[in-house]
Amino acid sequence: MPSILIIDDERPIRSTLRDILEYEKIKVSEAEDGIKGLALIKENDYDAILCDIKMPGIDGIEVLEQIQDIKPDIPVIMISGHGNIETAVESLKKGAYDYISKPPDLNRLLVTVRNALDRKTLVTETRTLKRKVSEKSASPIIGASKAIKEVKEMIEKVGPTDARVLITGPNGTGKELVAQQLHQKSNRKKAPFVEVNCAAIPSELIESELFGHEKGAFTSAIKQRIGKFELASGGTLFLDEIGDMSLSAQAKVLRALQENRITRVGAEKEISVSPRIIAATNKNLKEEIAGGRFREDLYHRLSVILIGVPSLNDRKDDIPLLANHFLTLISQETGSAPSKIEEDAIDALKKVDWTGNIRQLRNTIERLIIMTDQTIKKDDVVKFA
Same domain, 183 and 107: no
Same domain, 186 and 221: yes
pLDDT at 134: 47
Same domain, 43 and 78: yes
Q: What is the pTM of this model?
A: 0.64
Same domain, 298 and 151: yes
Same domain, 229 and 107: no
Same domain, 297 and 323: no
> Nearest-CA neighbor of 49 among 79, 25, 11, 20?
79
CA distances from 187 to 154, 264, 354 (A): 16, 28, 36
Same domain, 294 and 349: no
Last residue of a domain, one of 80, 102, 135: 135
Same domain, 108 and 201: no
Work out the angle at residue 198's Cα, subtended by the Cα atoms of residues 197 and 200, and round it to the nearest 5 degrees: 70
Q: What is the CA radius of gyration of the chain?
A: 30
300 domain residue, yes or no: yes
pLDDT at 133: 53
pLDDT averaged per 10 residues, the chain (length 385): 92 91 93 93 92 88 89 89 71 87 86 89 71 54 94 96 97 95 94 93 86 87 89 96 93 93 91 96 96 97 97 96 92 81 95 95 94 90 90
pLDDT at 192: 93
109 domain residue, yes or no: yes
**Which domain, by its residues, includes 69?**
3-135
Q: Are the C-beta atoms of residues 270 and 309 closer than 8 Å to each other?
A: no
pLDDT at 137: 45
Same domain, 353 and 318: yes
pLDDT at 293: 96
Same domain, 170 and 294: yes
158-183 as b/e: b if 16+ CB within 10 A: bbeeeebbbbbbbebbbbbbbbbbbb
> Nearest-CA neighbor of 24 among 129, 136, 113?
113
pLDDT at 254: 95
Spatial separation of the C-alpha atoms in residues 194 and 228, rounded to whole Å: 7
